[in-house]
Amino acid sequence: MIDKDHIPSRDDDDDDIDGYTKIDRYNPKLIENLSANYLNVLKQIGEDPEREGLLKTPERIAKAMLYLTHGYDLDAQNILNSAMFKEEYSQMVIVKDIEVYSMCEHHMLPFFGKAHIAYIPNGYVVGLSKIPRVVDAFARRLQVQERLTNQIRDCIQETLNPIGVGVVIECRHLCMSMRGVQKQNSVTTTSAFTGEFLKEKTRTEFLNLISSKLS
């Protein structure tokens, strides 16, 4: 049953939930409420939630959903601030083929693919492993690909204050391929730039570098 006066949040309780302790810690009351809702969903789509294979499904979906949206608990600017270093390097830094897993906010179906991110330092560089973590912080929420692209660009621009930022994201959307138009192989590409990357020469260099294969 859902207690209408108190909707639990992720950090109401510090108890560990089995299997998810490494990833995050969720409030058991929230899992219980979400599970009750998913049980209703199962009934309403015509399933029998009492059959063996579905007995633990509401709880599994609840835990999966909390994991798939754990970006709400992350602060992308903090992630970058925690690993910024003074450095005179002033050439383009590119991290390419970063895996992206997100969910469209219109259908709550996954979209996934790759992000390619570049910046030109202005006195500061950031630990390279932090860039994929920034992608995750924004991707692990309900999203649209266009906003995801802009949020990553803006976060890097505002935190690192580089000479320019370039972000390109290529994703397949299950809401396109599993339903409706069923264009199985279409890929959506979005991009966002600041500063030096607004110039065609820099942007072309970036796009050439991310499309070249090293291996």
Active-site amino acid positions: 104-107, 145, 173, 175
107 annotated binding-site participant: yes
Phi, psi angle pair for 89, to nearest 5°: -55, 130
171 marked ligand binding residue: no
Shortest distance (Å) from residue 142 CB to Zn ion: 10
Report the distance separating Cα 121 and Cα 212, nearest Å. 22
Reported as type and span, the H/E element at residue 158 is helix 145-160
Q: Which of 175, 177, 188, 205 binds Zn ion (CB under 5 A)?
A: 175
Pick the piece of the chain touching Zn ion (CB under 5 A) from 124-132, 150-158, 169-177, 201-209. Answer: 169-177
Which distant-in-sequence residues (6+ apart) come within 8 Å of 141 by Cβ? 69, 71, 72, 102, 103
Q: Shortest gap between Cβ of 102 and Zn ion (angstroms)?
A: 11
How far, in Å, are 9, 21, 29, 130, 151 from residue 25 at the CA level?
11, 6, 12, 22, 26
- Return the bridge partners of 169, or none: 115, 190
Build a one-symbol-per-residue string for 92-111: x at contacts with Zn ion by CB under 5 A, - elsewhere: ------------x-xx----
Contact call for residues 135 and 115 (beta carbons, < 8 A): yes
104 a known binding residue? yes
Q: How far is the CB of 108 from Zn ion (least distance, A)?
A: 8
How many residues touch Zn ion (CB under 5 A)? 4
Give residues in contact with Zn ion (CB under 5 A): 104, 106-107, 175
Known binding residues for Zn(2+) are: 104, 107, 175
